[in-house]
Every structure is written in structure tokens, then in C-alpha cells.
Amino acid sequence: MPSGKTHDLITYVLAVPTGAVLFLLTRNPGLTALGTGAMLFGGLMFGPDLDVKSKQYTRWGVLRWIWWPYQKFCSHRSRLSHGILFSTFFRVFYFLAIVTLFLATVLYIQNVVVLGMPSTGEQVIGVFQESLRRMLTLIHSLDRRMVLMLLIGLWWGATTHTISDFVVTTFKNASRSL
Ligand SMILES: [Zn+2]
């Protein structure tokens, strides 16, 4: 498969035609910028290689722990991380779940440590429900076209990675059998 550097280069190069196509389709500079930015983010930081200690993973810096459970869950180049149809949506779902868990932890600390509420099982369930409610409210408040553009961009950034993995591996195997 291509190196991290090659993957980055492919992402940068393809961002140009991606932006052009998005502009032709939407005629909207804001949506075009959002979709192209999401494509770059999808290729550079939110891509399939988060399943190993890759460039995509190290770019998360101090937040890279977010992907530790993900790496335990997905073996490298498995369908869950590299599949074209669902892997991006699985990552989005995973990421939102982690953010919700993080929010619940913050709420728990706020309630129990700062406000001195009892640390019961009910408290735990309560903060989970509250953080889930806040996340859903946030998602519902977003503009549908923006969400769609964001998902398309993320998906396309990750898909170009999977396609280039596939092309290079096929080419290597073919040249080996010559
Ligand atoms: Zn890969």
C-alpha cells in the first residue's frame, strides 16, 4: 500500500478537482469550501488508517487517545476501517459516541465534585441521558445541506485512500507475478 506521504499527496492533489466538481454541483462557495475541507480532513486526519499508528493518527496530537478503542476494535485494513460503503459512517458514529462519553464525564464531575450531588447509579444514567440529549439537539440544529456536504467530503477523503490502497496493492501483486 502507499506510504503515508503518498496518501497525503493524493489527498492534496484530488482536493482541487473535488472543489471544482462541488462548486459546479452546488454553485455555492460556502458549501464548496465545507465539502473540500471535509475531504481534506477525511484524507489527512479522519481516514481509514486511524486503525494503526499512522500519520492520520499522530495528527490528533494530545487527542490521539480517542482512537485507542477504535484500534482495538478494527484490525488494520478491515472492512470496518477501510470499507468504502460504511467505514466513514462508522467512524463518525464512533467519534460522536466518544464525544458524548466525554461530555457525560464532564457533567458527572460537575454534578458530583463541584455541586456535591450524590454519586449514585442514577446520577451516572442521568448524565448519560443529558449528554445524549444535548448531542442530538446539536445535530438537529445543524443545516441539513451542511451535514450532507460534510459527510460527502469525509466519505470521499477516506474513499480516495481505500482506492489508492487497492490500486497500489493490486499493481504490486501483478508485478510480482510477472
Ligand atoms: Zn490504509
| Helical segments of 27-177, H only | 29-44, 55-58, 68-73, 79-82, 87-109, 121-141, 144-176
How many angstroms separate the alpha carbon of residue 29 from the centre of ligand 1? 31
CA 86 to ligand 1 centroid distance, Å: 15
What spacing in Å lies between the alpha carbon of 140 and ligand 1's midpoint? 32
Kindly report the number of other CB atoms within 10 A of residue 56's CB atom.
25
- Mean pLDDT for the stretch of residues 150-172: 92
Q: Output the CA 157–ligand 1 centroid distance in Å.
A: 12
Ligand 1 mean position, distance from CA 156 (Å)? 14
- Report the separation in Å between the CA atom of 34 and the middle of ligand 1, taken as the mean of its atom positions: 24
Give residue 120's pLDDT. 87
Give CA–CA dist 144/96, Å, rounded. Answer: 17
CA of 167 to the centre of ligand 1 (A): 11
**Distance from C-alpha of 105 to C-alpha of 100, rounded to nearest angstrom:** 9
Distances, alpha carbon 176 to alpha carbons 33, 106, 163, 172, in Å? 42, 54, 20, 6
90-93, long-range: CB within 8 Å, 24+ apart, which pairs?
Answer: 91/46, 91/50, 91/154, 91/158, 92/151, 92/154
CA-based torsion, 79, 84, 90, 96: positive or negative: positive
Where along the chain do its domains lie? 4-176
Q: What is the pLDDT of residues 8-60, one digit of tens each?
A: 999 999 999 999 999 999 999 999 999 999 999 999 999 999 999 999 999 99
Provide the pLDDT for residue 175.
83
173 Cα: distance to centroid of ligand 1 (angstroms): 16
